[in-house]
Amino acid sequence: MNITQSTKGDNLISIKINVEKADYEEMVEKTLRQMRHKANVPGFRPGMVPMGMMKKMYGASAKMEALNTLVSENLNKHIVENKLNLLGYPLSDTELQQPADLENEDNLDFYFEAALRPEINVDFSNTMVDFYHIVPTDEEVDKVIVDLQERNPNTSHPENVGDNDRIELKIREAKDGKEVEGGFEKDGLYIHMDQIKDPESREQLIGKEVGSEFIINLSKAFGSEEAVSKVLGNEAPAGSDYNIIIDDAIHDEKPELDEEFFKKIFPDDEIKDLESFKKAVKAEMEKQHEKETDPILFNKMIDELVAAVKFDLPDAFMKRWIVDNSQGKITADDIEKNYEKDYVKGLRWQLIEDSIVNANPELIIKDEEVKDFVLKQIFPGIDYATLEDDMKANLDKIAANYLKDEQQVNNLRNQLADIKMTHLLKNKMNINYTETTSADFIKKLEEERNSK
């Protein structure tokens, strides 16, 4: 067997594999002998069919099987031994390959076309991306502070129910003023007094002491049977009376904007006054806006790199490769119509991305990073390193169960890869930021979409 390689064009090579009879003859004989043991030919017992007849009946298919194996193995061997960095995989060279006469030809030539990955030099200093830095308005900051106060109230547990409190209840289905044996019941039910729409029922609850027990019709109290179903579930009997026990009253009060509240929101900072607190809130809002707009910036950075990094693609080969790789889903006509619009950017970015990753191995996603990413998604805010061993073991089990789904893992790897690549590109590329508001940013995005 003889393999030769020649240059066919920019980043394009031709590989010729010459196969002689001596290369495949023994494999064909072995295949025919194996087939002979199983051959079911009228007039012959299994295993007794003459080899001459076997060759006549199955010789061509056995020869084709041997040639496919030999050519595939030696083509892969040639790629590995010559350290060919290929783009995709080799295709049959339709310009050079001639139809083979398997029955009459002993020496056969097989031709392949392969694309070499272009050498890519990413010079980040020659890039420039225009983008926006969203700065919250004073009104937006004030609105977030009010929201923080509402979500972090000062909580107390009064002895009597107030008109704006939450209450924890035990409820038991009742009839004629008595609990129904084996009837519907629920413990640990929390409701807010705002849910009580009926004035008479509100008056019945307000001022009641924790521990009180009495009969109430919840359909009347909530204003409808549908509202009761939302609170208790569909299994709760419609229109029924219930015996309720008030287990707790919870009163939430809007906190003052003082040092105690500042410390609650920013425990690691020493914030003494409202002005400093507003600056800290504003800075966190800017970080959140940056996180939310990073995917948009990432796409703009990709567009810039695809335009700025110059290299040639073997387009004719890539069109053939895409069609072959689609398993019949894409035709040559489809590619000719849509190649530039749908494929070129993706191909060029994939090659540029590979080049950047090769130069920055820290971008490679490790299994441990995927697990940490999962834990942060499921348990945001938990510092894994500070946990006790038994808690870590429990979290590891949860993460391991989540990571059993291979598609899920691949999605997480892709998310992590984009996050890490975004961070690296933001540090290496030239980005011209223009300050804007959130509302104006949305308008600018709409204008950009409409202009395309």
Is 298 in the same domain as 385? yes
Is 281 in the same domain as 398? yes
Is 232 in the same domain as 158? yes
Is 161 in the same domain as 62? no
- 321 in any annotated domain: no
Q: Is the separation of the CB atoms in 37 and 51 below 8 Å?
A: no
Write out the H or E segment, with its range, that includes residue 242. Answer: strand 241-253
Is 222 in the same domain as 190? yes
pLDDT band at residue 167 under the 50/70/90 scheme: very high
- 190 in any annotated domain: yes
Percent of all residues in the chain with a pLDDT value above 90, rounded to a whole number: 70
Is 99 in the same domain as 41? yes
CATH number at residue 88: 3.30.70.1050
Is 409 in the same domain as 280? yes
- 140 in any annotated domain: no
Write out the H or E segment, with its range, that includes residue 450. Answer: helix 438-451
Is 86 in the same domain as 214? no
The label of the residue with tokens 């949860």 reads 398
- Domain limit, last residue, from 218, 253, 288: 253
| pTM of the model as a whole | 0.79
- 291 in any annotated domain: yes
174 contact partners, CB below 8 Å, separation of at least 6: 180, 183, 215, 240, 241, 242, 243
- 124 in any annotated domain: no
pLDDT band at residue 7 under the 50/70/90 scheme: very high
Is 21 in the same domain as 82? yes
- 339 in any annotated domain: no
Q: Is the separation of the CB atoms in 32 and 62 below 8 Å?
A: yes
Q: Is the separation of the CB atoms in 175 and 241 below 8 Å?
A: yes
Per the structure, the complete domain to which residue 446 belongs is given by 274-311+360-451
The one-letter code for the residue type at 118 is P
The label of the residue with tokens 């929390």 reads 190
Q: Which pLDDT tens digit goes with each residue over 120-156?
A: 999 999 999 999 999 999 999 999 999 999 999 999 9
Q: Is the separation of the CB atoms in 166 and 192 below 8 Å?
A: yes
Output the DSSP codes for 27-69.
HHHHHHHHHHHH---TTS-TT-S-HHHHHHHHHHHHHHHHHHH
- 340 in any annotated domain: no
Q: Judging by DSSP bridges, how do beta strands 154-156 and 185-192 pair with one another?
A: unpaired
- Bigger pLDDT: 187 vs 39: 187
Task: Report the pLDDT value the prediction gives residue 203, as an integer from 0 to 100.
Answer: 93
Q: Please determine, for residue 379, whether its predicted confidence score (pLDDT) is greater than 90.
A: no
Q: Please determine, for residue 398, whether its predicted confidence score (pLDDT) is greater than 90.
A: no
Is 70 in the same domain as 171? no
Is 249 in the same domain as 282? no
Q: Is the separation of the CB atoms in 163 and 205 below 8 Å?
A: no
Percent of all residues in the chain with a pLDDT value above 70, rounded to a whole number: 100
Is 280 in the same domain as 429? yes
How many structural domains compose the chain? Answer: 3
Q: Which pLDDT tens digit goes with each residue over 387-396?
A: 888 888 888 8
